[in-house]
């Protein structure tokens, strides 16, 4: 049986060959610092933690699809592309489970250490490159959280829950009502209710 051919040099990225490497971090050595150099980065990566707000978010470990282009510019690396992230949560009106997929456009400049952009920007105004590696997780997390609805709904016209019985109104007949009795008359109502005994 012939031996399997050895992989070509440079066929896999350093990230893929390094066991235990953070899948959200991109090694920039293959891109280089020459302005105009570009690299497409398409990958499905598990969410490193839950990204979201109280009622909806991307679950930890959910597969996040990245379709990105990394471009070397004078001040750093420009990241542009699309992100598809599955979200789960609860409807704010009827509390039914909600599942959807966010389709996001992202664009962000990651500045080189010592660049003019880094030197003239506040700490939280610009993302920075750590040595030869670029961490995409904070970029995607921030884009996801900002895109999430504060009050997610299972359908745009969800009617919510009945205030009297707590059942979902969309599952009940259109003429669903409850007899509301004024508590001041409750004693008299009991007195004048016809007895079921003959």
Tens of pLDDT, residue by residue over 120-142, are 666 566 788 888 888 999 999 99
Lowest mean pLDDT among 39-43, 74-78, 143-147, 165-169: 165-169
Residue 3: pLDDT over 80: no
| Percentage with pLDDT > 70 across the chain | 75
Instruction: Give pLDDT, residue 12.
Output: 41
User: 105 forms bridges with which residues in the sheet?
Assistant: 82
Residue 8: pLDDT over 50: no
Per-residue tokens: 142:
């921030």
Higher-pLDDT residue of 58, 20: 58
- How far apart are the C-alpha atoms of 99 and 62, rounded to whole Å? 12
Q: Who's near 119: CB < 8 A, 6+ residues apart?
A: none
Instruction: Please check whether residue 66 is in contact with residue 41, taking contact to mean a CB–CB distance below 8 angstroms.
Output: yes
- How far apart are the C-alpha atoms of 150 and 91, rounded to whole Å? 11
| Percentage with pLDDT > 90 across the chain | 39
Which DSSP symbol is given to 173? -
Instruction: Please check whether residue 65 is in contact with residue 106, taking contact to mean a CB–CB distance below 8 angstroms.
Output: no
pTM: 0.71
Residue 33 C-beta-side C-alpha neighbours within 13 Å: 11
Question: Which of 40, 45, 46 has its CA nearest to residue 81?
Answer: 40
Average model confidence (pLDDT) across the chain: 80
- How far apart are the C-alpha atoms of 108 and 5, rounded to whole Å? 40
Instruction: Give pLDDT, residue 108.
Output: 92
How many C-beta atoms lie closer than 10 Å to residue 131's C-beta? 8
E strand spans, the chain: 25-27, 38-46, 51-52, 56-58, 63-72, 76-90, 97-111, 127-128, 133-135
């Amino acid at each position: 049986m012939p031996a399997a051919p050895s992989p070509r040099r440079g066929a896999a990225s350093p990230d893929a060959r390094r066991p235990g490497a953070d899948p959200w971090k991109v090694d920039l050595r293959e891109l280089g610092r020459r302005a105009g150099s570009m690299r497409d980065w398409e990958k499905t990566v598990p969410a490193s933690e839950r990204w979201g707000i109280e009622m909806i978010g991307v679950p930890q470990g959910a597969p996040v699809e990245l379709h990105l282009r990394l471009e070397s510019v004078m001040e750093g690396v420009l990241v542009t592309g699309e992100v598809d992230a599955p979200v789960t949560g609860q409807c704010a009106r009827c509390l039914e489970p909600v599942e959807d997929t966010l389709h996001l456009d992202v664009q962000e400049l990651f500045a080189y250490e010592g660049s003019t952009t880094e030197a003239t920007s506040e700490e939280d105004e610009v993302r920075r490159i750590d040595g030869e590696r670029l961490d995409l997780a904070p970029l995607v997390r921030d884009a996801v959280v900002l895109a999430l609805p504060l009050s997610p709904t299972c359908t745009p016209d969800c009617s919510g829950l009945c205030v009297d019985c707590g059942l979902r109104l969309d599952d009940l007949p259109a003429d669903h009502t409850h007899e509301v009795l004024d508590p001041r008359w409750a004693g008299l109502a009991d007195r004048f209710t016809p007895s079921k005994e003959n």
